[in-house]
Structure 1
Amino acid sequence: MIKSMYSGISGMNAQQKKLDVIGNNIANSGTTSFKSSRVTFQDTMRETIGKGSGPVLALGGSNPKQIGMGVNLQSIEVNTGQGSLNPTGRPLDNAIDGSGYFIVGKGSITDKVTVSEDGHITSEETSGNEDSKAMDIYYTRDGEFKRDSLGNLVTPNGYRIMGYAISGGDSVTSIDYSSGKLVVNKVPIEKDGKEVELTAGGELIPLVIPEEIGGKKVSGFTIEKDGLIKATLEGSEVSVIGQIAMASFVNDGGLEGVGQNMYVPGANSGQPLLRPGKGSENEAEAAAYGSIINGMLEMSNVDLAVEFTEMIVASRSFQACSKVITTGDEILQELVNLKR
């Protein structure tokens, strides 16, 4: 009876964890880019009452006699499948159609974030303040971007959207580390009737859509599938501002969620690999990443019908495990009464 009661306790604990996960899935069914989770279980070690034996001349074989000791949590797997894309019509809303994550940062604009030749990110503090830290880098599929009062491209929580600086012709978008300001020069897409060869990569910078570029007011902007941001200036002139950076992971299920729709690399996720910038030597590898769909947001991939069904199953399993405990208690009470 004691073993059955402990098995019932382990079952109640396991089903409670499952209900916790289901409850979180249902609560976030309307959260932008939320990824649902599922729980799997495994049995614990078994008590062997009798060992199995092979067949002999006089007798046939027998199977082992074992009693299970309950259930244990095996894993909480994240479903990284893509959610549906919901059109919003807002020019700063962006959804990723395919694999990949946006890169966001928290820190000073002068904190240099470099990209190595193998596509890995390195953040270092360059502002000269000994008490300051390097920029904290996070990853998200939530493309609900905003502009602050300075034109910085940020998340709803104020984290900076990271991207590549663009150079083309004699112009380049860069950071003036002495003044701590982002310098956005006019990088035309055409010059003298010819298309300008654009180059991006080598360093990540916080992106900004300023009010003016080269003394001309910005009247509008577009974000293309490869993340290239183009601003329309007065006189219908078009200038390239930068390119939104994206990263991928070998095992994105190993990412650790930190809240606010953001993730950090985990021990089993692998290091982030950056999407090559426009004009780089390995630009062809960018085809392996998803496309940025402007004017849309990725919704949660929670299936409420499945979650409600799993919730009923978990609830009934919890009740059954509690019944095992009460039944074991009744039998123990009967044994005590026999002694009396």
Structure 2
Amino acid sequence: MLRSLYSGVSGMKNFQTELDTIGNNIANVNTYGYKKGRVTFKDAISQTLASATPGTSAQQVGLGSQIGSIDTVDTSGSPESTGRPLDFAITGDGYFRVQDGNDTYYTRAGNFYFDDNRRLVNSEGFAVLGTNGQAITLGANVKSFSVATDGTISDQNGNTIGTISIATFQNPAGLTKAGGNLYTTANSNAGQVTVSQPGQNGAGTIKSGYLEMSNVDLSEELTNMIVAERGFQANTRIITTSDEILQELVNLKR
């Protein structure tokens, strides 16, 4: 069979994966704290028809392409003003830490709430961790609070309730998406995690009343979608042309 048939199939599968990734990016264009994905390709193995000799290069035919990586592009999104005191955006590097039981997750989505126990939690009900590794909880006598850029939460009398912690990583793109705007370090190459107070050890600061928008650029995604669609069509043309050649070979017997 013609090698071009299998090369075309590999190209179609890879462009379909890219279209899947682009579609997910577009679907999350308004998701707070979302980090877009990116697909890279690499060539597959090549078949050597003739080895290299002195003065003559090797003759090789490529056998298609394959997925090189599906990366998470860890650039910051634009902060959007909400005016809500419990909406936090990180200006700079780092992730909020939230805990569900014994599991710790990381997120850039800072839309937080107070639960029935007056704990600061995310939309999933996971506790937001302070620098002491514990959940941040309002006392019964707290009537109002304020949040400083260094993550310090103070009550109406200026007493410190707790300090929001920020986690930074050597390779934040290596975090694994866990759904619900959450990331985990399980089976990732994120490297060493450093937990700090906002503004220290390279961690970003906190802006209360803001949320970080998705870093998806819609015009870029639509352009990439057109390129991927044309790439998919070109690979289907390879299969169609190869099929016509095989049909001619079959017809030689007639």
Shift of 1:146: 0.4
C-alpha separation in 1, matches of 2:207 and 2:201: 15
Q: Tell me the equivalent position of 2:130.
A: 163
Q: Tell me the equivalent position of 1:199.
A: none
Q: Tell me the equivalent position of 2:189.
A: 268
Shift of 1:77: 1.3
C-alpha separation in 2, matches of 1:250 and 1:79: 14
Q: Deviations over 1:166-216 (max 9, x none)?
A: xxxxxxxxxxxxxxxxxxxxxxxxxxxxxxxxxxxxx4111112341xxxx
Cα pair 2:105 2:183 within 8 Å, conserved: yes
Q: Tell me the equivalent position of 1:328.
A: 242
> Which amino acid counterpart does residue 260 of structure 1 have in structure 2?
G
Q: Tell me the equivalent position of 2:108.
A: 141
Instruction: Give 1 or 2 for the bigger CA radius of gyration.
Output: 1
> Which amino acid counterpart does residue 138 of structure 2 have in structure 1?
I
Q: Counterpart of 1:14 in 2: which secondary structure?
A: helix
Q: Does the alignment pair 1:79 with 2:73?
A: yes
Q: Deviations over 1:219-238 (max 9, x none)?
A: 31111111110010xxxx32
Q: Does the alignment pair 1:223 with 2:152?
A: no
Q: Does the alignment pair 1:304 with 2:218?
A: yes
Judge which range, 322-331 or 27-36, deviates more.
Answer: 322-331
Q: Counterpart of 2:159 in 1: which secondary structure?
A: strand
C-alpha separation in 2, matches of 1:276 and 1:95: 14
Q: Does the alignment pair 1:102 with 2:96?
A: yes
Aligned length: 253
Aligned residue among 114, 126, 135 for 1:206 = 135
TM-score, length basis structure 1:
0.72
Cα pair 1:247 1:275 within 8 Å, conserved: yes
C-alpha separation in 2, matches of 1:286 and 1:10: 47
Large movers: runs of 4+ above 6 Å: none
Cα pair 2:9 2:239 within 8 Å, conserved: yes
Percent identical among aligned pairs is 45
C-alpha separation in 2, matches of 1:332 and 1:151: 71
Q: Tell me the equivalent position of 1:91.
A: 85
TM-score, length basis structure 2:
0.96
Cα pair 1:150 1:210 within 8 Å, conserved: no
Aligned residue among 49, 57, 73 for 1:63 = 57
C-alpha separation in 1, matches of 2:188 and 2:214: 25
C-alpha separation in 1, matches of 2:103 and 2:15: 37
Cα pair 1:152 1:210 within 8 Å, conserved: no
> Which amino acid counterpart does residue 147 of structure 2 have in structure 1?
I
C-alpha separation in 1, matches of 2:84 and 2:139: 18
Shift of 1:287: 4.7
C-alpha separation in 1, matches of 2:242 and 2:168: 52
Shift of 1:288: 1.4
Q: Counterpart of 2:52 in 1: which secondary structure?
A: coil
Cα pair 1:28 1:300 within 8 Å, conserved: yes
Structure 2: gaps of 5 or more residues: none
Structure 1: gaps of 5 or more residues: 55-60, 108-134, 165-202, 213-217, 278-284
> Which amino acid counterpart does residue 252 of structure 2 have in structure 1?
L
Q: Does the alignment pair 1:150 with 2:64?
A: no
Shift of 1:52: 2.7
Cα pair 2:109 2:212 within 8 Å, conserved: yes
What is the alpha-carbon root mean square deviation over aligned residues? 1.4
Aligned residue among 155, 160, 170 for 1:240 = 160
C-alpha separation in 1, matches of 2:202 and 2:168: 10
C-alpha separation in 2, matches of 1:316 and 1:276: 48
Q: Does the alignment pair 1:34 with 2:34?
A: yes
Q: Counterpart of 2:143 in 1: which secondary structure?
A: strand
Shift of 1:315: 0.4
Shift of 1:81: 0.5
Higher strand share: 1
